[in-house]
Amino acid sequence: MIPILFLVSIVSFFVMELPPGDFVTTRILQLIELKIEVTEEIIENIRHRYGLDLPVYERYWMWITNFMKGDLGYSLVLERPVREVLLSRFVLTAALSVTTMLFGWTVAFPIGIYSAVRP
């Protein structure tokens, strides 16, 4: 199981790395659209802040060790920690799951009892 988890983590990380460009490119385009002057220093600061100036293997190592510590990272799009994003959506997901399960039982038990009594 552990080798499979390791392989899945490597594949997941590299699939995230595959698309051309990176977050810095997107952020620079957003800043340009807002008519904000983008200097080389700003670009380097953003790259350093998100660890994009490091080699791929170092970024993977940081990603996997932080994940093992429970740090799921920072959502670059929502600009919030991923843990907060997941927790905010977990409550509604759990409520929907429990409601669906209760509805299923409410329908299934009477049908099962009826089928057992009247073959």
Residues 53-91 pLDDT 10s: 889 899 899 989 988 898 888 887 788 999 999 999 999
pLDDT band (50, 70, 90) for residue 43: confident
Residues 83-103 pLDDT 10s: 999 999 999 999 999 999 999
Q: Is the pLDDT of residue 36 over 80?
A: yes
Tokens 């807002």, located at residue: 34
Spatial distance between the Cα atoms of 28 and 84, rounded to a whole number of angstroms: 26
Chain Cα centroid distance, residue 95: 21
Residue 49 pLDDT: 83
pLDDT band (50, 70, 90) for residue 28: confident
Residue 3 pLDDT: 93
Q: Is the pLDDT of residue 21 over 80?
A: no
Q: What global pTM score does this model have? A: 0.63
Spatial distance between the Cα atoms of 80 and 89, rounded to a whole number of angstroms: 13
Q: Report phi then psi at 89, rounded to 5.
A: -95, -15
Q: Is the pLDDT of residue 47 over 80?
A: yes
Contact between 24 and 50 under an 8 Å Cβ cutoff? The reply is yes
In degrees, to the nearest 5, what angle opens at C-alpha 2 toward C-alphas 12 and 60?
Answer: 35
Residue type, 33: E
